[in-house]
Chains A and B, each alone.
Chain A
């Protein structure tokens, strides 16, 4: 082991782990995971941002924990172990927030529980952390969390702008004077189906830009 060359912390391979999920290997638009929460929390930018940050934290930390334990986790109960790690992490974070950052915990409210059900986290544990060292796992977690977050924020940006006429609570449409020109907010954007349609449009846009993403068949 000692003569094995040490890999630099940000080697090309590790950097790729961080950047691939942002584009070509995005958990939402490419792997179509985590759609449920993308639909629920993207009406406004603020909850989407909080959700994105919490998922990044949970995914990175649980990736590291599972990766550290990977040699000791029996294959047959690995899914249960993963669930236990994610769920206890989320509960722990929730308890700590309630005690020391009450305001934040109030804003997160149901999201904290929703994080447990986010399929991206378990997907990464299963597909990556179980077979890789802690540091690459950590980076992979950050990358996938960020890839998820970017899509969440994009969807929320369009839904908030077109549905409520604001961006992060700032009344853009009103300041532009569009209401007096007869513009009206599109109430449909607030409803859940539009989140799916916006995600669908993004997938379409991404694939039409990069033909290599289209499955041949």
Chain B
């Protein structure tokens, strides 16, 4: 290889950096609207999945319009807050506020058999990054109808298993309350006994993610406690 002068090296690196920077920022700006749309579709898809409706990227939009009938934002006492769009609430930002000031989004789905299901978004911390999902609850405000979880970067095969159907289906039919007291869901290492209405099996090798999931459910759902109690039927 030839020996290059310092001047050449400087020019070379400057040109390279400018070229790469232009290329990457151009790609990021041009692709952003599409990425944003994908994220919104993904959100609708997850919500539908939490009530057991499987959709694709193409059908998510129309199915969402069909099944998700209402959405509101609640405060910690369970009262409806006016003027805020529940779909646009960023849970992560809300969680930084004090509990009294948080906007708590809630979505209502009307299924084909007429059943009314409420969907609540949850977000918490896994091992490597955020974990999030939706919990849907039957109109008794106690029984879990379905859940869907996802994660940013949990270890594949270990913590990442939280978004598998095998794991998610264990939540169906679990109870949030015991004798009118909010107890949330336990994620039990080594397996939850089948008679426990509040427990699911933790993931082997994914202990920290499992613990994070348990904390996420408890922290997010307990804020809706007043709403649950007032709206039972």
Contacts and interface: CB of A to CB of B under 8 A. Distances in A.
Contacts of B2: 71
A174 B150 CA distance: 27
Contacts of B8: 74
Interface stretch (B28-36, B115-123, B215-223): B28-36
B157 interface: yes
A80 B16 CA distance: 11
Contacts, number: 82
Contacts of B151: 109
Please classify how large the interface on chain A is, using the bins under 10, 10 to 19, 20 to 34, 35 or more.
Answer: 35 or more
B153 A109 contact: yes
Interface in B5-24: 8-9, 12-13, 16-17, 20, 23-24
Given A98-B38, A109-B152, 6 more contacts: A43-B156, A44-B157, A75-B3, A92-B27, A102-B41, A109-B160
Contact of B12 (A77, A99, A160): A77
A91 B35 CA distance: 14
A55 to B, nearest CB: 15
Nearest to A190: B205
B42 interface: yes
Interface in A63-103: 71-77, 80-81, 84, 88, 91-92, 95-96, 98-100, 102-103
A102 B44 CA distance: 14
Given A102-B42, A102-B57, A43 B152 contact: no
A41 interface: yes
Contact of A95 (B27, B57, B156, B205): B27
Interface in B33-68: 34-35, 38, 41-42, 57
Contacts of B128: 110
A75 B8 CA distance: 11
A41 B156 contact: yes
A77 B13 contact: yes
A135 B51 CA distance: 52
Interface in A19-71: 40-44, 47, 71
A130 B31 CA distance: 32
A191 interface: yes
Given A44-B157, A75-B3, A187-B204, A88 B24 contact: yes
Please classify how large the interface on chain B is, using the bins under 10, 10 to 19, 20 to 34, 35 or more.
Answer: 20 to 34
A88 B205 contact: no
Contacts of A96: 27, 31
Contacts of B9: 74, 76-77
Which of B41, B157, B205 is packed against the most chain A CB atoms within 10 Å?
A: B157
Contacts of B42: 102, 106
B139 interface: no
A75 B27 contact: no
Given A72-B12, A80-B13, A99 B31 contact: yes
A81 B41 CA distance: 38
Contacts of A74: 4, 8-9, 12
A98 B24 contact: no
B81 interface: no
A98 B4 contact: no
Contacts of B158: 43, 190
Nearest to A108: B156
Interface string A148-168: 000000000000100000000
